[in-house]
Amino acid sequence: MCVHDLKERERVPGRDMPMGAALLREPTLNKGTAFTEEERRALGLEGLLPPHVSSLQTQVIRVMENFHKGPTDLERYIYLMNLLDRNETLFYRVVLERIEEMMPIVYTPTVGQACQEYGHILRRARGIFISAKDRGRVIELLRNWPRQDVRVIVVTDGERILGLGDLGANGMGIPGGKLCLYTACAGIHPRLCLPVTIDVGTDNEELLNDILYVGLRQRRVRGEPYDELVEEFIAAVQELYPSAFIQFEDFANHNAFRLLSKYRDRVCAFNDDIQGTGAVGLAGLYSALRITGRSLAEQKILFLGAGEAGIGIGDVVCSAMVAEGLSEEKARTRCWFVDSRGLVVKSRGDLSEHKLRYAQDYEHVGDFASAVNTLRPTVIIGVSGQTRAFTQSVLEAMAVYNERPIVMAMSNPTSKSECTAEQAYTWTEGRAIFASGSPFAPVTFKGRTHIPGQANNAYVFPGIGLGIIACGAKFVTDEMLSVAARALAEAVSEADLEHGRIYPPLARIREVSAAIAAAVAEVAYGQGIARNPRPENLLAAIKAEMYEPVYQRYA
């Protein structure tokens, strides 16, 4: 088995190798001051670089010194993207070695601001932009991508970027950021990754009036023309990249659920906002229950938000409850949802299709706080984007009803979190088991330090993708999500739990991703949907093929 067939080997200069100044402009090959004297002579680089030969680690030190000089996180993001455009290997070395520091910059929360200002900070476009004007010629656009072996595609239409809404073509920062994490967190070679934005316009007035906006200046295309463009894209991918794993990212609810339903049994498709969030949410519950000593089937979970993230977690949790012996109907009665109009119950006539299966036979309750006091849940999960919706009264009530209330404020970015870590611990007298979508610093309350867990999808989607690629899976199944959640939860140590931390440190992300990948691939082999032969030691084979950002030698 070979995960990606692109592990870097020694390379001999030839007709396909740029020389001289052209080589320094090619980020996938450029080593900057790390080119050896022998390489400089052979590649026409003498005189184009200062004479001292630097090591990769010395270059990392230089990068970090300049990184810390950035006055804002957005400036640091821009600096890192410029580095990626100059020297791909050095960029990934920096991100990998300092993942806890880099994650909030290359992804949430800073990437959200980068998307909002995309047209204002654009230096070099990365990825493929497919617009509504390109119908009938999508495959021609994809053929312009310089790499023929693509295994992971992250695609967005920019309508629901994080908690920021419709950002149109500016949303391209999200596929790029996700793919950076596929490489840094799971060792998928960057040459296998393709970010795509399907630009069908935007209904964001501010962007339409922004002279620096990079996308189509028109209202969003919807209905049949939209579906035909997406279908053309999927067909083109199947023709050009038949082994590609397609990740739908930040589509609005009305498209996200139906596109996943339409394509998940036809191609190897995955929606991170629904399925990835579901897996990471379930993993957090598994870990939290190691602290409380209770079973998953005993929990009553109240969600604030009934969109992609909430329903996604509900679906994965229900699947896990069924595996523990509950009927599907009984499992769904353990998951309750509050949306913008109150508790999701059968008597309401305004429910969309994805909410109907969770509509409870119960009286209507109009707000979240009332639902907490009426239902007395053991777990509250925020996926609403409603800042500080977990109020003091809500958290105090959770502490009254539960010895160890489980509180997961998962909305991104930090400004949208339903509560802060400090609020969760303070208002529950330090008894909350807390996790958030974006990072919060440790909190000391009455002499005890609590370390918040980060319910970040980066814990699961890179490992799922790696497992899919490793075995050549034809589809993504529900069982893969459950085993990914279980593998993530098992990576949480007893020492982590002692501090209330229900996710492992990000510093261990590669180890975690490899374990998830092996679990996912094992399911694919068991279900008979893997194309690649199974190696004797699956985990070892996956680890052996993970990309390491080190310089290759040009002999």
The span from the CA of 155 to the CA of 477, in Å, is 20
Tell me, what's the pLDDT at 6?
A: 41
Task: Tell me if 209 sits within 8 A of 240, measured CB to CB.
Answer: no
Question: Measuring CA to CA, which residue among 155, 171, 244, 253 is closest to residue 204?
Answer: 171
DSSP-derived secondary structure for 323-367 = HTT--HHHHHTTEEEEETTEE-BTT-S---HHHHTT-BSS----S
The span from the CA of 126 to the CA of 166, in Å, is 20
Q: What is the mean pLDDT of residues 37-63?
A: 97
Residue 212 within any structural domain of the chain: yes
Question: Could you give the 3-state DSSP secondary structure of residue 202?
Answer: coil
107 is catalytic: yes
Burial of 252 (0-12, 13-18, 19+ CB in 10 A): middle
pLDDT at 352 over 70: yes
Quick count: other Cβ atoms within 10 Å of Cβ 360? 16
Residue 134 within any structural domain of the chain: yes
Q: 11: pLDDT confidence band, cut at 50, 70 and 90?
A: low
Question: Could you give the 3-state DSSP secondary structure of residue 72?
Answer: coil
The secondary element (H helix, E strand) that includes residue 197 is strand 193-199
Tell me, what's the pLDDT at 555?
A: 62
Q: Left (φ > 0), alpha (ψ -120 to 50) or beta: where does 355 sit? A: alpha
Report the alpha-carbon angle 249-253-257, nearest 5: 80
Which of 31, 178, 355, 474 is labelled catalytic?
178
Report the alpha-carbon angle 388-77-174, nearest 5: 65
Tell me, what's the pLDDT at 15?
A: 59
Which CATH number goes with the domain that contains 155?
3.40.50.10380
- Domain total for the chain? 1
Residue 415 within any structural domain of the chain: no
pLDDT digit string (tens) for 217-275? 999 999 999 999 999 999 999 999 999 999 999 999 999 999 999 999 999 999 999 99
pLDDT at 165 over 90: yes
Whose structure tokens read 């497919």?
130
7 is catalytic: no
Q: 390: pLDDT confidence band, cut at 50, 70 and 90?
A: very high
Q: 9: pLDDT confidence band, cut at 50, 70 and 90?
A: very low
Kindly report the average pLDDT of the chain as a whole number.
Answer: 95
Residue 438 within any structural domain of the chain: no
pLDDT digit string (tens) for 284-315? 999 999 999 999 999 999 999 999 999 999 99
Whose structure tokens read 């909190």?
443
Quick count: other Cβ atoms within 10 Å of Cβ 474? 18
Q: What is the mean pLDDT of residues 203-228?
A: 98
Q: Locate 494 and state its tokens.
A: 């007893």
Q: What is the mean pLDDT of residues 384-397?
A: 95
Task: Tell me if 171 sits within 8 A of 155, measured CB to CB.
Answer: no
pLDDT digit string (tens) for 423-442? 999 999 999 999 999 889 99
Q: What is the mean pLDDT of residues 495-518?
A: 96
Least confident of 5-9, 110-114, 120-124, 404-408: 5-9
Question: Measuring CA to CA, which residue among 81, 256, 231, 223 is closest to residue 157?
Answer: 256
The span from the CA of 239 to the CA of 226, in Å, is 20
DSSP-derived secondary structure for 423-466 = HHHHTTTT--EEEESS----EEETTEEE--EE--GGGTHHHHHH
The span from the CA of 74 to the CA of 29, in Å, is 27
Least confident of 111-125, 190-204, 406-420, 483-497: 406-420
- Taken in order 209, 212, 216, 221, is the CA torsion positive or negative? negative
> 152: domain range?
105-267
pLDDT at 4 over 70: no
Residue 529 within any structural domain of the chain: no
**What angle do helix axes 277-292 and 308-323 make, rounded to 10 degrees?**
50
The CA–CA distances, whole Å, from 368 to 278, 302, 379, 505 equal 21, 9, 13, 32
Q: Locate 299 and state its tokens.
A: 């929990």
pLDDT at 1 over 90: no
The b-or-e profile of 70-93 (16+ CB within 10 A means b, else e) is eeeebebbbbbbebbebbbbbbbb
The secondary element (H helix, E strand) that includes residue 235 is helix 224-240
pLDDT at 205 over 70: yes
Q: At a CB cut-off of 8 Å and minimum separation 6, what does 410 contact?
A: 277, 281, 309, 381, 382, 383, 418, 435, 436, 437, 455
Residue 166 within any structural domain of the chain: yes
Residue 112 within any structural domain of the chain: yes
8-state DSSP, 552: P
Q: What is the mean pLDDT of residues 525-535?
A: 97
Which of 31, 77, 92, 107 is labelled catalytic?
107
**% of the chain surpassing 70 pLDDT:** 97
Tell me, what's the pLDDT at 339?
A: 95
Amino acid at the residue 181: L
Residue 192 within any structural domain of the chain: yes
